[in-house]
Structure 1
């Protein structure tokens, strides 16, 4: 089904793979009549060509990228624009689309969600952007329909910013990276590795894009095979897939922790652009005659079976056939894994979902940028047509990804087919994907064609004793389960005639409702600020020396951004840095906020010119110990703050608030064995936080310990990669920290204290 190569590969004429090794050059010459060095062939990837076209540094090893377009949604654009305004924003320099697909319901916190929308509309007018009102389209579907372009690059503030199937290299990053683009700065990265995803064969009837995506994720996530690399989709199997199918695989590449994705394009992609009235945006993309890749994910589409990703990660994958054949054993294994994910906070059970030897689920959801596509919903309608989802616990909700898709489904009868079964069809909304809609009942088990199934991402609250869970599946198998009234069923188990209706895009829907400035700014427009929209608090520059208290210690194998700052109802406070910060780690370590704020009193005393020891008594023995070796440390040359330790933090969402909330509460650093994603590490840096690394093994400190880092400012200024630190406990116990590679700009941002300070000068 999926095979990973142990070495790099050469792709010849887009179809033949030659594994790298001592004989590779001879095989290329003798069998194919081709010669190319590894270095030359690596320049023939589609990714290399697109990055070269957008690189402004003149050095393809150290990229400084400028994007063609930007996109954000309503839990990120307020903070981004506020940061950019504080840094001197006058006009959006490139097309910037503000969609409203997360805080769409306006049901939590009074007026604050709609206040954010009005902020976005007035900013689009003032600075020359595009405003997409709530319920019109989820962010990524609008980008596919209206922003994508062959050979173009798009930067979005949502982690699932992936439009590679349309020939667009897109990346999801934290808000500060978009701020840089708004201020005509660049996105700075080393040239990423490029891994081929070689597709061959044709999927069986009933197998959908989520099945292929989950099969790939299950193979590559745990070993980091594509971590921070570009996934380049090639091979004859691409030609066998519709564009909707390709999009459905592509959006899920985020869950592999890759940097971006790109696909070869063909007449089907050209037709997609033509249907959407933008055929001029099509560009044929293919790898060169001989192309070198740093690795290869080989996927035989004909061998892919309906898949399920069990709680609590998209990589926790099984075939549905395997799950049904080993039901109790696999459910027990999932319960054991949950003990780690949930820290034993609640009694999580799945085995009680088994009825008469079959797994019964409480809820099915087909939604968002992954599930809400036209073909997914049409096929689901074909499966359930003429059936009933039943009158028991099981429910089915379907969210088309955009109003044009919804309209076409109305016209071709699919909406009626779905509703007749008892399913509910709703408007374009990302809520089910991040816990702001369709939260199951306590102990409920939901199957969803969405993007993630992290702990509590569906909306349950551990701190209130609640737990429900999500398994990811393809829309077709969700519909098959609905056809069997909630009993888990693979779509391939049903004999269904798929009609495959043609899609017609109705552009008048957007023309009637979306504000498009066409790049023309109107400085006379006054921005509307609701009472919840607050400016960022002042942040201090990096001190000469640093005292940190460890206020949370997390030993899960991976810590998601959902655990660092929960999604769901907290999203309504994203425009209020202080208000949102109160939710930091609330589901993982509820005591964190109180501990961090207690330490922050000391730093605030320093900033006010008073003695920190007077407001935090426990610091007195800490400084006594420090002064035994560093008597000069004291007034004017020390900062006091907090840090957390996590094994591998930052998997999942691009949300900058996972870092900024820690900073707002006085956080100066994270300490980790490694960082799950480039974007989380960048978020830390852009908020002036130090991304420390420590070797795996027994920690020299524990939660509640104070750490002393002498000369930290000098370490950053002199570009040192490692530094000495001390655990302060009756004396000073030395240990080593590392920083990893930092660009000159990143060092300057850290020294200034955050990106806002950096641009203010």
Structure 2
């Protein structure tokens, strides 16, 4: 079904695979008439060509990329613009699309969500951007329809920024990286490895893109096979997939922790651009005659079966057939692991209650957003539900088309009537179910969703308040099959259905009438509309030469998601108010983080004003005395040593690109994260852009929760690029250990030293 090669591979003409083993060169010589140069062949990938076309670096060293366009939504664009304008931005130097698909309910916090939308419209007018009004399209649907072009690159502040199936390399990053692009700066990174995803065969009827995506995720996530690498989709199976199907697979590549993705383009992609009135944007992409890949994922599409990703991660996969046959055993495993992950006393995780009379019963079905709400997913689901019903029991179902152009076609071809007649609630273009702000299930309910994630709390429940519900990811087709079977878990392949596959027509006038396009028409005299909740970033201190950190949060989970670092859901309404949003930091993982961080922040603010922290906390006197014992010749002045909080987690940062996962910590005076490794590049980038130290430690830490860690000469070490940095645990005794900062560019080192990106550009 899905197999990962243990070595790299040469691929000839995008079709013939030669495994990079001891016999590779002999095979290549017989096929090509000569051996192949590996380094030269690495330049034969599509990814290499696209990256080089956007690279502004001199020969060698880090890549320095500039993107063709940017995109952000209403959880992130205010912070991005506030950062950029505080750093000197005068206009958008490239197309910047701002959609309104996250904070669009306006159900929390009075007017503040709509105030953000008006801010974005005024910013599009002032600086020359694109403003997509509320619920007109989810961010990625609009960018597929209007912005993606083969050979281009797009940077977005949403982690699911993926348009590879349209030949566009897209990357989801924190807001700081978009702010840098708005300031004419570059996106700096080491040259990524490229992994081929070779698709062959044809999917069975009833098997959808989510089934394929989940099988890939389940086979590459835990082993880090594609982490921070580019996934390049090739193979004879691509021709058997519609463009909608390809988009559905592609958007889920984010859950593999890859950097980006790109696919071969063909006549079907050409037709997609023709349908959308952009035939001039199309061009054919394919690998060179000889291309070398650092790894290869072989996917036999014909062997994929309907799949379910059980709580609490997209990689926790089982075929629906396998799950149903072993439900009791699998449920027991999920319950045991879930209790470890939540670490909430007396939290009742009770999936066993869903097993009734030998069947697994589901309470809710959702098909939504950039992954589920595509035209083909919804028409296939409607075909399955035609003449059926969700019933009038506990099972409920909602669908969220990805854009109004998709919605109007579903109205025209009768799919919406089918859904409504079957008892399905039709919603607007809204990302809420993907991050816990819409269709939140009741306590202990089980939801199956064609959406992007099923992390803990991602459905909107609050385990720290004793609430818990569960999300499993499934394809739209199997969700529809389950719906008409009374909520009994059912694979789409278990039923007979005639898929009608109606033709899609794109109505661009919907956007012409409502979208504000200010590209090249900026009006600097326009005043930004600042609602009362829109606040500037607070002042942040520079990194001092020596620092004293208290580890106030110590997380032992294997992976910590950004949703656990800053909860999603209703907290999203406060994204434009850094201080108020910071009150939610780590609220679902460590409810004491905020008050504990404020204690240390108060000491640091006093120090910055020339006071001695010891005078506010006499217990620190013993800490500074022990620091003096480390180097008796060094003058230790508490008024010169920066003091703040720190967080330890084994592998933080899986999931969302939201910079607030880092910025909220910094707003509360957190100076560093300690980790064995970082789950994603984007979270580490967020830490750096907010002037936080992304420390790496080897093995189990020598410090515990509430220990103080002293790091002398850290500013000099950062600026000089020192690979290993001495640190000391200040406890009953002083224990020396070593931390690393990993690879940092010269600019990244200077940003950390400056205290944050805004400070850095103010100095510049």
Flag whether TM exceeds 0.5 (same fold).
Answer: yes
2:158 paired with 1:155:
no
Matches of 2:145 and 2:619, distance apart in 1? 58
2:333 paired with 1:333:
yes
Which residue of the partner structure matches residue 748 of structure 2?
746
Task: Give matches, 1:312-327, under 5 Å.
Answer: 312-327=312-327
Matches of 2:74 and 2:301, distance apart in 1? 37
| Residues 1:394 and 1:137: Cα distance change in structure 2 (over 3 Å) | same
Which residue of the partner structure matches residue 192 of structure 1?
192
Cα offset for 1:733? 1.3
Matches of 2:620 and 2:178, distance apart in 1? 39
2:529 paired with 1:531:
no
Matches of 1:196 and 1:722, distance apart in 2? 35
Q: TM-score, normalised by structure 2?
A: 0.99
Matches of 1:22 and 1:318, distance apart in 2? 35
Q: Report the 3-state secondary structure (helix = DSSP H, G, I; strand = E; otherwise coil) of the residue aligned with 2:648.
A: strand
Which residue of the partner structure matches residue 496 of structure 1?
497
Q: Report the 3-state secondary structure (helix = DSSP H, G, I; strand = E; otherwise coil) of the residue aligned with 1:590.
A: coil
Matches of 1:717 and 1:228, distance apart in 2? 25
Cα offset for 1:617? 3.0
Q: Retained in 2: the 8 A contact 1:545–1:633?
A: no
2:661 paired with 1:671:
no
Cα offset for 1:625? 1.2
Matches of 1:260 and 1:617, distance apart in 2? 51
Cα offset for 1:34? 5.2
Cα offset for 1:519? 2.5
Q: Report the 3-state secondary structure (helix = DSSP H, G, I; strand = E; otherwise coil) of the residue aligned with 1:628.
A: helix
Q: Report the 3-state secondary structure (helix = DSSP H, G, I; strand = E; otherwise coil) of the residue aligned with 1:251.
A: helix
Task: Give matches, 1:119-134, under 5 Å.
Answer: 119-134=119-134
Which residue of the partner structure matches residue 399 of structure 1?
400
Matches of 2:219 and 2:295, distance apart in 1? 13
Per-residue Cα deviation, 1:650-683 (whole angstroms, up to 9, x for no partner): 0000000000000001010000000000010010
Q: Retained in 2: the 8 A contact 1:52–1:60?
A: no
2:595 paired with 1:598:
no
Q: Report the 3-state secondary structure (helix = DSSP H, G, I; strand = E; otherwise coil) of the residue aligned with 2:507.
A: coil
Cα offset for 1:170? 0.2
Matches of 2:220 and 2:192, distance apart in 1? 17
Q: Retained in 1: the 8 A contact 2:534–2:576?
A: yes
Q: Report the 3-state secondary structure (helix = DSSP H, G, I; strand = E; otherwise coil) of the residue aligned with 1:433.
A: helix
Cα offset for 1:624? 1.6
Matches of 2:655 and 2:59, distance apart in 1? 30
Q: Report the 3-state secondary structure (helix = DSSP H, G, I; strand = E; otherwise coil) of the residue aligned with 2:682.
A: helix
Cα offset for 1:636? 5.0
Which residue of the partner structure matches residue 691 of structure 2?
688
Which residue of the partner structure matches residue 544 of structure 1?
545
Q: Report the 3-state secondary structure (helix = DSSP H, G, I; strand = E; otherwise coil) of the residue aligned with 2:70.
A: strand
Task: Give matches, 1:288-437, under 5 Å.
Answer: 288-345=288-345, 346-437=347-438
Cα offset for 1:231? 0.1
Task: Give matches, 1:211-230, under 5 Å.
Answer: 211-230=211-230
Matches of 1:635 and 1:550, distance apart in 2? 18
Cα offset for 1:618? 2.8
| Residues 1:34 and 1:281: Cα distance change in structure 2 (over 3 Å) | farther
Cα offset for 1:461? 0.6
Which residue of the partner structure matches residue 728 of structure 1?
730
Which residue of the partner structure matches residue 112 of structure 1?
112
Q: Retained in 2: the 8 A contact 1:669–1:691?
A: yes
Cα offset for 1:644? 0.6
Per-residue Cα deviation, 1:364-393 (whole angstroms, up to 9, x for no partner): 000010000000000000000001111111
Q: Report the 3-state secondary structure (helix = DSSP H, G, I; strand = E; otherwise coil) of the residue aligned with 1:527.
A: coil
Matches of 1:7 and 1:58, distance apart in 2? 30
Matches of 2:187 and 2:686, distance apart in 1? 13
Per-residue Cα deviation, 1:67-93 (whole angstroms, up to 9, x for no partner): 000000000000000000100010000
Which residue of the partner structure matches residue 648 of structure 1?
651
| Residues 1:645 and 1:635: Cα distance change in structure 2 (over 3 Å) | closer
Matches of 2:126 and 2:753, distance apart in 1? 32
Matches of 1:239 and 1:118, distance apart in 2? 43
Q: Retained in 2: the 8 A contact 1:92–1:129?
A: yes
Q: Report the 3-state secondary structure (helix = DSSP H, G, I; strand = E; otherwise coil) of the residue aligned with 2:448.
A: strand
2:490 paired with 1:473:
no
Identify the range of structure 1 (225-234 vs 11-20) with the bigger mean alpha-carbon deviation.
11-20
Q: Report the 3-state secondary structure (helix = DSSP H, G, I; strand = E; otherwise coil) of the residue aligned with 1:181.
A: helix
Unaligned stretches of 5+ residues in structure 1 = none
Matches of 2:736 and 2:154, distance apart in 1? 45
Q: Report the 3-state secondary structure (helix = DSSP H, G, I; strand = E; otherwise coil) of the residue aligned with 2:170.
A: strand
Q: Report the 3-state secondary structure (helix = DSSP H, G, I; strand = E; otherwise coil) of the residue aligned with 2:630.
A: coil
**When the two structures are aligned, how many residues end up with a matched partner?**
760
Cα offset for 1:518? 2.6
Which residue of the partner structure matches residue 261 of structure 1?
261
Cα offset for 1:25? 1.2
Q: Retained in 2: the 8 A contact 1:312–1:341?
A: no
Cα offset for 1:635? 4.8
Matches of 1:281 and 1:633, distance apart in 2? 63
CA RMSD, 1 decimal: 0.9
Which residue of the partner structure matches residue 233 of structure 1?
233
Matches of 1:340 and 1:201, distance apart in 2? 40
Which residue of the partner structure matches residue 287 of structure 2?
287
Q: Retained in 2: the 8 A contact 1:69–1:94?
A: yes
Per-residue Cα deviation, 1:151-189 (whole angstroms, up to 9, x for no partner): 000000000000000000000000000000000000000
Identify the range of structure 1 (251-260 vs 51-60) with the bigger mean alpha-carbon deviation.
51-60
Q: TM-score, normalised by structure 1?
A: 0.99
Cα offset for 1:149? 0.4
Identify the range of structure 1 (51-60 vs 471-480) with the bigger mean alpha-carbon deviation.
51-60
Matches of 1:665 and 1:551, distance apart in 2? 12
Matches of 2:318 and 2:155, distance apart in 1? 33
Matches of 1:280 and 1:61, distance apart in 2? 35
Matches of 2:279 and 2:337, distance apart in 1? 48
Cα offset for 1:619? 1.6
Unaligned stretches of 5+ residues in structure 2 = none
